[in-house]
Chains A and B, each alone.
Chain A
């Protein structure tokens, strides 16, 4: 006769108590990270938001000015130009995303000693953007090596003021950033590609798929999540990590044609002493990045469902 054993039952009161103890102990584990997040994120952000409603004068009297800082920015031609610049920079995202992907696939499929190439491509990512910026300001100068090479190879008219011409400065920034971000993208995509079974590519090749077809129909769907992550990182960087590039390459000029939000926040705060205005601009930046990421993430999600 089979003996059926029954797990000992605990009283309902005891279950509630043990649940509460467990919740409490879990909360204890969460406390350190909550404290860190609160200390380094929530408090300073709340501080900046509060000060955006004042004529903030750090360490000194900061009178309340209501929405004045926000209104002033909204009315400012310079601020509108800065927003246009940010939108223009977003046009670089496809280039900054696809270029390293293509290079990664080429390294994966076609190149001997891919590790060596990956190292070479990754090198810019190990150098400070400020140093690369200074390097490029020399390369792109009117009498710099790039124009010298162009003049040697072809007519003078192709030489240009890459960083001073209003029509060229933003595309030039996108090109410089394409070079600077490629290494990190290549490493990320190469790592992701190494987890894909080679049979998948071999099967596609045997089925007659060409290189571009394999890229679009095999690689892209397989690395979809990694591409999404990389795009999100790029979008965020286009808003909050432009400072060293702008500072070293253009100082926001000519005029305001290459000024970005993060550079303008720095300039308003530490250049002009308009800390309240800079705080309001930071809040605008926070909202804009939040909206762009949310909309972008929503689009990815919808496409994911459709796929």
Chain B
């Protein structure tokens, strides 16, 4: 009896140790925040003191390409050592959160060029004293990274590269189904007709992977935005209403494609990255909603599909507010300078190098990243890339709610995707949860 009691006591002690240990996971850091250092006034202040800058990225654009840029920067700046750390994408934002909480980590870090950036606001150096008027004029996308989400607001990051969402298709599979590869679907009805023809030819019409949620964001960006008015889209930037009937209806179009068996079967168990992307690249389906730049894009697909790769704009929905097909395109990424960094001027010099026309031309040619800087004129050899760049320059571009989604909201939405795609939760209920998360999101600084 006594032995048993002793055993139980030890067991209870073990329980307490384990649970207390978990409770201890969140250590506090009561250090006084360093004062914001505002060094030089423009981008051209060159420092000669030896500095090591730690840079965090999630590997987009490709690490090898970035290494070449970094090597070039270090050649031009012998005093600078660039420690470029590629963090795994799945852990990137949690690692960044830890860095902000502990005020230890990179000197410069990559983020999206969107309100997403402001979820790490306490770690952001205001860049008003660093960004010159010339730089403001050269780069697009300042409104995504500045206070109040206004281009004239205080910048907290430097926008970098452009990103868009459109569709890709496999011409060989279109031909197999009797669809003219030179005339991909331009309307919803044509999309459904193509879907039926492809199914009849035993081809998966649209490659999908819903498990991680991102694919529904891309679809939602293309479909839901067509049903929102210009004012609603503009309003989404700062005050999203995820339960808006237009948003629900837009996502319902996606669900209709799933219910009609137009997408990869059982795709709720397939992640977009890397599975669905690889599936399209390896010819396991005819159409794919993909990106214009950086990854899941022509730069990855052309080497595998060759001349069979085609690009198409999102088909117009029956009740679309668009008069014609349009290209979704906006700022892609941004570079922020950590508030705890000891060399903010040198960090800004490095960022200025990355956003320069020369660097962005190099990135387009090596990694297919579309520039966001005036004066960059990269050589375009890929016909699909040429077509996409033509849409960006020739059609009225737009960005929608999913491009500007907040970090917490994205996690909730992505969790709900497999649920509403499979019909286990209604889209309305899913979006109520998304809105609840939106309502809790910390405010964006006004200035």
A contacts, CB < 8 Å to B: 40-42, 44-45, 47-49, 51, 56-60, 77-78, 141-142, 161, 163-166, 224-225, 228-229, 232-233, 235-236, 239-241, 251-256, 262, 265-267, 269-275, 278-279, 282-283, 285-286, 289-290, 293-294, 297, 300-301, 304-305
Find out whether the CB atom of B18 lies under 8 angstroms from the CB atom of A236.
yes
* Listed A/B pairs (14) with beta-carbon separation below 8 Å: A45-B24, A47-B24, A49-B23, A59-B29, A59-B33, A60-B33, A142-B270, A225-B4, A229-B11, A262-B22, A269-B26, A275-B26, A279-B26, A286-B19
Find out whether the CB atom of A278 lies under 8 angstroms from the CB atom of B26.
yes
- B6-22 interface code vs A (CB 8 A; 1 in, 0 out): 01101110111111111
Complex: how many Å from CA A89 to CA B407? 30
Find out whether the CB atom of B23 lies under 8 angstroms from the CB atom of A45.
yes
Give the residue name and chain of the A residue nearest to B95 (CB).
A270
Find out whether the CB atom of A44 lies under 8 angstroms from the CB atom of B424.
no
> What are the residues of chain A within 8 A of B274 when measuring CB–CB?
none
B419 within 8 A of A: yes
**Which residue in B101, B270, B408, B419 is a CB contact (below 8 Å) of A58?**
B101
Chain B interface, number of residues (Cβ within 8 angstroms) = 56
> What are the residues of chain B within 8 A of A305 when measuring CB–CB?
1
Contact flag A271-B19 (CB < 8 Å), given A58-B101, A233-B11: no
Find out whether the CB atom of B18 lies under 8 angstroms from the CB atom of A272.
no
Find out whether the CB atom of A255 lies under 8 angstroms from the CB atom of B3.
no
Contact flag A252-B103 (CB < 8 Å), given A44-B24, A225-B4, A304-B4: no
> What are the residues of chain B within 8 A of A51 when measuring CB–CB?
26, 28
Give the residue name and chain of the B residue nearest to A268 (CB).
B408
- Interface of A, helix, strand, loop or mixed by DSSP: helix
Interface residues of B in 146-188 (CB under 8 A from A): none
Find out whether the CB atom of B269 lies under 8 angstroms from the CB atom of A141.
yes
Nearest CB in chain B: distance from A263 CB, A = 12
Find out whether the CB atom of B11 lies under 8 angstroms from the CB atom of A228.
yes
Find out whether the CB atom of A255 lies under 8 angstroms from the CB atom of B411.
no
B119 within 8 A of A: yes
Give the residue name and chain of the B residue nearest to A56 (CB).
B26
Complex: how many Å from CA A89 to CA B18? 18
Contact flag A58-B10 (CB < 8 Å), given A41-B17, A253-B211, A255-B425: no
**Which residue in A41, A164, A228 is a CB contact (below 8 Å) of B268?**
A164
Find out whether the CB atom of B19 lies under 8 angstroms from the CB atom of A163.
no
Find out whether the CB atom of B269 lies under 8 angstroms from the CB atom of A161.
yes
- Give the top 7 A-B pairs by smallest Cβ distance, nearest first: A44-B24, A164-B269, A232-B11, A270-B94, A59-B29, A58-B101, A161-B269
Contact flag A41-B16 (CB < 8 Å), given A59-B101, A164-B211, A255-B416: yes
Complex: how many Å from CA A55 to CA B442? 11
Complex: how many Å from CA A137 to CA B411? 20
B353 within 8 A of A: no
Find out whether the CB atom of B11 lies under 8 angstroms from the CB atom of A44.
no
B contacts, CB < 8 Å to A: 1, 3-5, 7-8, 10-12, 14-31, 33, 93-94, 97-98, 101-103, 119, 122, 211-212, 266, 268-270, 407-408, 411, 415-416, 418-419, 422, 424-425, 433, 440, 442
Complex: how many Å from CA A235 to CA B19? 12
Give the residue name and chain of the A residue nearest to B264 (CB).
A142
Complex: how many Å from CA A200 to CA B211? 54
Find out whether the CB atom of A255 lies under 8 angstroms from the CB atom of B415.
yes
Complex: how many Å from CA A40 to CA B24? 7
Which residue among A47, A273, A290 has the maximum number of chain B CB atoms within 10 Å of its CB? Answer: A273
Nearest CB in chain A: distance from B287 CB, A = 20
> What are the residues of chain A within 8 A of B7 when measuring CB–CB?
225, 228-229
Find out whether the CB atom of B424 lies under 8 angstroms from the CB atom of A166.
yes
**Which residue in B8, B22, B270 is a CB contact (below 8 Å) of A282?**
B22
Complex: how many Å from CA A270 to CA B407? 11
Nearest CB in chain A: distance from B167 CB, A = 24
Complex: how many Å from CA A29 to CA B395? 79
Give the residue name and chain of the A residue nearest to B119 (CB).
A273
> What are the residues of chain A within 8 A of B422 when measuring CB–CB?
254
Contact flag A297-B8 (CB < 8 Å), given A41-B21, A286-B19: yes
Nearest CB in chain A: distance from B162 CB, A = 27
Nearest CB in chain A: distance from B185 CB, A = 27
Complex: how many Å from CA A245 to CA B83? 32
> What are the residues of chain B within 8 A of A272 when measuring CB–CB?
407-408, 411
> What are the residues of chain A within 8 A of B21 when measuring CB–CB?
40-41, 240
Complex: how many Å from CA A141 to CA B276? 13
Find out whether the CB atom of B411 lies under 8 angstroms from the CB atom of A267.
yes
> What are the residues of chain B within 8 A of A278 when measuring CB–CB?
26
Complex: how many Å from CA A79 to CA B11? 27
Find out whether the CB atom of B97 lies under 8 angstroms from the CB atom of A270.
yes
Find out whether the CB atom of A273 lies under 8 angstroms from the CB atom of B416.
no
Nearest CB in chain A: distance from B401 CB, A = 19
Complex: how many Å from CA A1 to CA B156? 103
Nearest CB in chain A: distance from B263 CB, A = 13
Complex: how many Å from CA A251 to CA B90? 10
Nearest CB in chain A: distance from B364 CB, A = 33
Find out whether the CB atom of A236 lies under 8 angstroms from the CB atom of B19.
yes
Give the residue name and chain of the A residue nearest to B265 (CB).
A142
> What are the residues of chain B within 8 A of A48 when measuring CB–CB?
23-24, 26
Which residue among A56, A272, A301 has the maximum number of chain B CB atoms within 10 Å of its CB? Answer: A272
**Which residue in B102, B425, B433 is a CB contact (below 8 Å) of A59?**
B102
> What are the residues of chain A within 8 A of B93 when measuring CB–CB?
271
Which residue among A49, A251, A265 has the maximum number of chain B CB atoms within 10 Å of its CB? Answer: A251
Nearest CB in chain A: distance from B367 CB, A = 28
Contact flag A142-B26 (CB < 8 Å), given A232-B15, A272-B411: no
Complex: how many Å from CA A104 to CA B407? 49
> What are the residues of chain B within 8 A of A224 when measuring CB–CB?
4
Nearest CB in chain B: distance from A138 CB, A = 11
